[in-house]
Amino acid sequence: MSKVTPAPPVPTQPAQENKSVLGWKQDLDPSWYGGQVSRHQAEATLREMNKDGAFVVRDSIKGSTEHPYTLMLLTQGKVYNIRIRKQGHFYLLGNGLWNTKSFPGVKEMINHHTHTPLLLIDATEQRSSEQAQCCLLHPAEL
């Protein structure tokens, strides 16, 4: 009886990724980037951490190039969802009415707001006394 030896494995080509998507993802730190995690999952993680300044960046459910990500931040028992917008080669937070500071990448934006507080406006409250400020202090790794 002769033994049958298995054929050697066939080398495969690595999958080709879209260069623009790859460029975006390289700017994101896994300690705070949750990817395609749902809003509910991200909020549950932040509430479980229960620390003012806990945050995560997740893919926007719209998935558009103009609004690729959402920053979620917990402070004073509230979870804020803040759009991360892309305009040309720059990133901005919010809807453009309050915050006009732009950054060359999401990582730079996050790093900036670890030292500079974000002005948070609760959409359900219209009074200026309800505005909170908070730095991004505790990355919520998902």
Residue 1 has pLDDT above 90, yes or no: no
Question: How is the chain split into domains, by residue range?
Answer: 27-139
Taking domain 27-139, whether its CATH number is 3.30.590.10 is answered by no
What does the mean pLDDT of the chain come to?
81
Say if residue 24's pLDDT is above 60.
no
What value does the mean pLDDT take over residues 79-105? Answer: 87
Of residues 83 and 25, which shows the higher confidence score? 83
82-114: b or e for each residue (b if 16 or more CB lie within 10 Å)? Answer: bbbbbeeeebbbbeeeeeeebbebbbebbeebe
Instruction: State the pLDDT at residue 117.
Output: 94
Give the bridge partners for 126, in sequence order: none
How far is it, in rounded angstroms, from Cα 85 to Cα 100?
A: 11
Average pLDDT over residues 120-138: 74
pTM of the predicted structure, to 2 decimals: 0.77
* pLDDT-based confidence at residue 4 (cuts at 50, 70, 90): low
